[in-house]
Amino acid sequence: MKTIQAYRYALDLTPGQERNVLAHAGAARVAHNWALARVKAVMDQRTAERSYGVPEELLTPSLSWSLAGLRKAWNGAKPEVAPWWGEVSKEAFNTGLDAVARALKHWVDSRKGVRAGRPVGFPRFKSRRRTTPSVRFTTGAIRVEPDRMHAVLPRLGRLKLRESARKLARRLDNGTARIMSATVRRDGGRWHVSFTVEVERADRAPARPDSVIGVDVGIKHLAVLSTGELVDNPRHLAAARQRMRALGRALSRKTGPDRRIGRRPSARWERAAARLGRAHARVANLRRDGLHKLTTRLATTHGTVVVEDLNVTGMLAHRRLAQHITDAGFAEIRRQLAYKASWNGGRLLVADRWYPSSKTCSACGAVKTKLALHERVYECEACGVAYDRDRNAARNLAALAAEFDTAGSGPVAARGADQKTRVRGQVAVKREPGTASAGQTRTVPPQGRTTDRVLTKAH
Domain spans, the chain: 2-14+133-200, 22-112, 208-235+278-444
Q: How far apart are CA 230 and CA 222, in angstroms?
A: 8
Residues 25-42, mean pLDDT to the nearest whole number: 96
Largest CA distance in the chain: 81
* Residues 150-187: tens digit of each pLDDT: 999 999 999 999 999 999 999 999 999 999 999 999 98
- pLDDT, residue 305, reads 94
Residues 101-106, mean pLDDT to the nearest whole number: 96
* Cα dihedral 333, 334, 340, 344 sign: positive
Residues 38-45, mean pLDDT to the nearest whole number: 95
Q: How far apart are CA 276 and CA 162, in angstroms?
A: 22
Confidence of residue 441 (pLDDT cuts 50, 70, 90): very low
Q: How high does pLDDT run on average in the chain?
A: 86
pTM for the model stands at 0.82
- pLDDT, residue 428, reads 52
Residues 6+ apart with CB under 8 A from 361: 367, 378, 380, 382, 383, 385, 387, 392
* Residues 218-240: tens digit of each pLDDT: 888 999 999 889 999 999 999 99
* Residues 50-101: tens digit of each pLDDT: 999 999 889 999 999 999 999 999 999 999 999 999 999 999 999 999 999 9
Across the strands, what pairs with 435? 433
Confidence of residue 382 (pLDDT cuts 50, 70, 90): confident
- What separation in angstroms does the CA of 295 have from each of 169, 220, 307, 335, 437? 25, 18, 12, 9, 22
Residues 6+ apart with CB under 8 A from 418: 354, 425
Residues 337-347, mean pLDDT to the nearest whole number: 93
Instruction: With CA atoms as reference, report the closest residue to 253 among 267, 269, 242.
Output: 269
Beta-strand relationship, 190-200 and 441-444: unpaired
Q: How far apart are CA 379 and CA 371, in angstroms?
A: 10
- pLDDT, residue 407, reads 59
Tell me the catalytic residues.
216, 308, 390
End-to-end CA distance of the chain: 46
- For domain 208-235+278-444, the question of CATH label 3.90.105 is answered with no
Confidence of residue 442 (pLDDT cuts 50, 70, 90): very low
Side-chain half-sphere CA neighbours of 398 within 13 A: 26
Q: Is the pLDDT of residue 424 over 50?
A: no
